Amino acid sequence: MGRELRIERVTRIEGHAKVTIQIDDAGAVADARFHVTEFRGFEKLCEGRPFVEMPGLMARVCGICPISHTLASSKAGDRLLGVEVPRTAVLQRRLATYAQILQSHALSFFHLSSPDLLLGMDADPARRHIFALIADDPDFARRGIRLRQFGQRVIELLGGQRIHPAFSVPGGVTRAFKAAGRDEIRGGIAEAMQTLELASDRLEGLFERFRDEIESFGDFSSLFLGLVDDNDELEFYDGTIRIVDGEGNVVADRLDPERYTTYLAEASEPWSYMKVPYYKPLGYPGGMYRVGPLARVNVAQRAGTPRADRQLRALKSTSTGAVCASFHYHWARVIEMIHAVERIEALLDDSELLGSQIQAKALLNRRSGIGACEAPRGILFHHYRVDQQGRVEQANLLIATAQNNLAINRAVAQAARRFVVPDRLEEGMLNRVEATIRCFDPCLSCSTHAIGQMPLVIEVRDPSGQLRARIVRGDGMESPADPNSGR
């Protein structure tokens, strides 16, 4: 008799989703699926609007990584204008990119995942969050809060506000950057680096304790896709795409992001508002690939900055091929934060950062434009086709988290098989399924251009669809006799 568990209210994650777990005749977990339940429809609602509006509108796809959306959108706009963006504007955009990586990764690591890592997967759910951490480990929590604040402050100094700044536009940026802003950022570098060294020590000290989780939170071979620069180092703003396989072999290299439709395609499934991109040559669903911090450190040979490279060598030494354990997204995130701080410091020394030539102006010169950059969760594409007046006729957004859709599904199934015992469900089992999802730091507002909290409810159904039992996160079993017990 096959049954199904349904998981709702996945918390400490950026979005609304559910998980269903299929149970086989022997009562063991057979498979699992990750369902995203929110949708806003940006690809339609932008139709008919001028492309110059897009960086401001598209920032609202996501409040966590608005800079990435505004930049991908601006880059698509740069192509529509057919201009070369002044170097000062590129430096500002790069600075914003690293600040974005820093604040978003800090949110993922300190605010959302550190309660699992530091308080434990089986800790009391009522005490397993950043506010409990403030009480239990005030220094660490304060440091995390201040690190995120540092990233947000850099964005604020560049764009005038922290969230959805009217900052980047087609052709460049809107404001010259001031020396006072530069000096303030410089003053924050040392503390940020100190916090990251502490975080990195704390994380490495936990690997022994989480050996089971490292092996089961999505540890499998897959393709990895990300940008690299000309020196095969980490790149977030420009560069070309490299794809490696689980053994670390280069499958494709120097791919032009603007030709993404020749090697990437998307599938739609009725069970999720999150689309399912795949690597075209391997078809669907065989063309699974991972993006984001772990993918980026797998495709790059080096970070390109000394402190991050020391850490990256340690991470890479855990595997002979690519690092396939999704748990190590956390480690990759810490490495990228270190790298971001190093890059921010270096950018501050470039005298052109304070230049006054910040925007190239032109009329519309092309009818189609594609912009790509590495968002915190992976590569992001914005693709617009416009009419002669520059109004958007068609838009397509290929979002980082969606590109991890196949891998998140596979990881959730692996963790559920390893940890979930359907007949003796415990909260810690469910939290491990959620913690697996948290490794990917999925941003569902981005990926379906929508957001909400993720409910986690497990429903056990028999093959006829009859509800056998239902668990709301942390609520214990509910009687199937009361169909109105859930929401």
Partner 1 sequence: MMQTNGHAPSSRPRVATVWLAGCSGCHMSFLDLDERLIDLAARVELCASPLTDYKDFPPVDLTLVEGAVANEENLREIRHIRARTKILVAFGDCAVTGNITAMRNAFAVEDVLDRAYRATSLVVRGVPGTSEGVIPRLLERVQPLHEVVDVDFFLQGCPPSADQIFELLSAVIEGRSPALTRRFG
Q: How far is the CB of 307 from partner 1 (least distance, A)?
A: 25
CA separation for the pair 390, 367 (Å, rounded):
8
Q: 311 vs 436, which CB is nearer to partner 1?
A: 436
Positions in 39-58 near partner 1 (CB under 8 A): 39-41, 43-45, 47, 57
Q: Does 82 engage in binding with partner 1 (CB under 8 A)?
A: no
First-to-last C-alpha distance (Å) of the chain:
27
Q: Does 453 engage in binding with partner 1 (CB under 8 A)?
A: yes
E strands along 178-236, which residues? 223-228
Q: Does 3 engage in binding with partner 1 (CB under 8 A)?
A: no
φ/ψ region of 29 (left if φ > 0, alpha if ψ in -120 to 50, else beta) reads beta
Q: Does 187 engage in binding with partner 1 (CB under 8 A)?
A: no
Positions in 352-391 near partner 1 (CB under 8 A): none
Residues 391-420: x where in contact with partner 1 by CB under 8 A, - otherwise, as a string: ---x-x------------------------
CA separation for the pair 295, 439 (Å, rounded):
13
Give the burial string for 165-200 (b: 16+ CB within 10 Å, else e). Answer: bebbbbbbbbbebeeebbeebeebeeebbebbeebb
In the list 13, 99, 223, 460, the residue contacting partner 1 (rule: CB under 8 A) is 13
Only one of the segments 60-68, 292-300, 302-310, 331-339 lies at the binding site for partner 1 (rule: CB under 8 A); that segment is: 60-68
Q: How far is the CB of 174 from partner 1 (least distance, A)?
A: 17
Instruction: Report the amino acid identity of residue 247.
Output: E
Q: Does 38 engage in binding with partner 1 (CB under 8 A)?
A: yes
- Site for partner 1 (CB under 8 A): how many residues? 76
Is the CB of residue 79 less than 8 Å from the CB of residue 369? Answer: yes
Only one of the segments 13-21, 185-193, 334-342, 372-380 lies at the binding site for partner 1 (rule: CB under 8 A); that segment is: 13-21
Q: How far is the CB of 88 from partner 1 (least distance, A)?
A: 27
The three-state secondary structure class of 422 is helix
Environment class of 458 (CB within 10 Å of its CB; exposed 0-12, middle 13-18, buried 19+)? buried
Q: Does 474 engage in binding with partner 1 (CB under 8 A)?
A: yes
Cα 82 to the center of its chain, rounded Å? 30
Residues 155-174: x where in contact with partner 1 by CB under 8 A, - otherwise, as a string: -------xxx----------
Q: Does 74 engage in binding with partner 1 (CB under 8 A)?
A: no
Q: How far is the CB of 130 from partner 1 (least distance, A)?
A: 6
CA separation for the pair 253, 299 (Å, rounded):
10
E strands along 390-483, which residues? 392-398, 457-461, 467-472, 477-478
In the list 30, 52, 83, 145, the residue contacting partner 1 (rule: CB under 8 A) is 145
In the list 142, 175, 302, 385, the residue contacting partner 1 (rule: CB under 8 A) is 142
Q: Does 470 engage in binding with partner 1 (CB under 8 A)?
A: no
The three-state secondary structure class of 466 is coil
Classify residue 109 by its DSSP letter: I
Q: How far is the CB of 144 from partner 1 (least distance, A)?
A: 10
